[in-house]
Structure 1
Amino acid sequence: MMTDTIDPSRQVSSFVEESLAFAPVFEEFGIDYCCGGDVSLAAACDAADADIDDVRSELRTVQETETDESFDWESLSELTDHIVSTHHDRLREELPALEALVHKVANVHGEDHPELEAVEREFVALAEEMQTHIQEEEDDLFPIARKIDAGESLTGDEIRTIEREVEGFEDDHEATAERLERLSELTDDYAVPESACASYRSMLDRLAELERDTHLHVHKENNVLFPAVASTFGADT
């Protein structure tokens, strides 16, 4: 059993670095542990208007559970491979399929639910941006991470590429978070209308799952991968 370390001054992202099992608690309370995970638990609770005693209680319940959901990696190559296989490959499969479903639901139910036009527009932009983003990561940053793993020295251009790309990727993550938040708002936090058909329900379930998975995905990059890569040459992220 893990030691009770639910300290209000502890950085939010460190909880999920310790165990992925903490992530659903932060999702439940609307606490940003990925893009905004570099603040204290107390500050994060204030920002989310969440009762810190309730949050700490839920975190402690997870902490006292015997299951081990730690996110361990042995090398930068293993970490990048994990991100590709667990998140990037899933996005390549899910985004086109979900986009087709969003179009279908908007066409069928748009008259009764005019907000679906905005959902469709927001999701199409999100899907395009995310697919471009993950390909750029795999083309530009991940090969350099694997080169570091191999013990090869980086050129000045490669170091500048890391600094430039990491900053750009973090900006992309912020933009993605804003689009996901907009989708959540448009669907009233993915609430299912009484008249919703199976396709409508499936769309909302999959949008909610996309948001949850993207939060984990971004956490692994912003709070684990990027600092690990930057630390190899003394840069700050």
Structure 2
Amino acid sequence: MARHWLTIASPTTEAITNPLLAACEDGYVPDSIRILSNPTVQDNVSPIVPFLEDLVDDIVETHHEHLRSELPSLERTVRKVTRVHGDTHPELEAIESEFLSLEADVTEHIADEEETVFPEIVTLDDETPRTDTEAARIRDAINHLESEHDAAASHLEGIRDLSDDYTTPSDACTSYRNMLDRLQLHEEDMHVHIHKGNNVLCPDADALLTSA
């Protein structure tokens, strides 16, 4: 994924370059820079095109495709382990229930993102001024995306708590261990997915919407 640097309302060139240089020293070297609502400096920096589309493509290709492949297989493993070990580990039924709720929500969520939310956000790349009605519709889409991410995070926390931070029981078989490992990896991937949406895509989209 290409790295981008977005700045808004910076009154001087130094206000842009100083934090940018600090980020580069920390290892974040952007491929391109976008300057928003900085009339005294924005003409000196070339805009990036596309911007939000790159982020959307990364989320779909890196996370959505993985989820479509992993969730059905992981569901089968969770069901199997619960069926075999549920009598001696009653917490497995709660883990299964939490996971199935998460799977249903996430499956619907990624379809909604790709069909409704992302197309709205990508239109901001052209920086065309929006009517109040259009801006409100896009902001509603962004808020909806963030609320669904928060709901997914709650399910993930529930699974972690029920599994005692994915602790492997002494009598766990290979399938049991595999399930816990995959659930932990699933949580880690989902948190990266949520971070890209809530902390990168949505704020950048809102900044573009504000400046349009």
Q: Percent identity at matched positions? A: 43
Work out whether 1:205 is the aligned partner of 2:181: yes
Structure 2's unaligned 5+ residue stretches are 1-22, 33-47
Change (3 A) 1:151 1:127: same
More strand, by proportion: 2
Cα distance, 1:160 vs. partner? 1.9
Amino acid at match of 2:144: G
For residue 69 of structure 2, what is the aligned residue in structure 1?
A: 93
For residue 92 of structure 2, what is the aligned residue in structure 1?
A: 116
Cα distance, 1:154 vs. partner? 4.0
TM-score when scaled to structure 2?
0.73
| Per-residue CA distance 1:135-174 (angstroms, 9 max, x = gap) | 1111112112322224555454432222112212212122
Work out whether 1:215 is the aligned partner of 2:191: yes
**Residue 227 of structure 1 is aligned with which of 195, 203, 211?**
203
Task: Determine if contact 1:180/1:211 at 8 Å carries over to the other structure.
Answer: yes
For residue 15 of structure 2, what is the aligned residue in structure 1?
A: none
State the distance in 1 between where 2:107 and 2:200 align. Answer: 21
For residue 173 of structure 1, what is the aligned residue in structure 2?
A: 149
**Residue 164 of structure 2 is aligned with which of 168, 171, 188?**
188
Amino acid at match of 1:210: H
Cα distance, 1:132 vs. partner? 0.7
TM-score when scaled to structure 1?
0.66
| Per-residue CA distance 1:63-111 (angstroms, 9 max, x = gap) | 6xxxx67786861111100000001111111111111110010001101
For residue 48 of structure 1, what is the aligned residue in structure 2?
A: none
Task: Determine if contact 2:120/2:141 at 8 Å carries over to the other structure.
Answer: no
Structure 1's unaligned 5+ residue stretches are 1-17, 20-62
Task: Determine if contact 2:166/2:184 at 8 Å carries over to the other structure.
Answer: yes
For residue 112 of structure 2, what is the aligned residue in structure 1?
A: 136
- Structure 1 runs (4+) greater than 3 angstroms displaced: 68-74, 150-158
Alignment of 1:41-60 (within 5 A): none
Change (3 A) 1:234 1:132: same
Change (3 A) 1:214 1:71: farther
Larger radius of gyration: 2
Q: Secondary structure at the match of 2:210?
A: coil
State the distance in 2 between where 1:224 and 1:138 align. Answer: 17
State the distance in 2 between where 1:167 and 1:90 align. Answer: 24
In the comparison of the two structures, how many residue pairs are matched? 171
State the distance in 2 between where 1:99 and 1:214 align. Answer: 16
Over the aligned positions, Cα root-mean-square deviation in angstroms equals 2.2
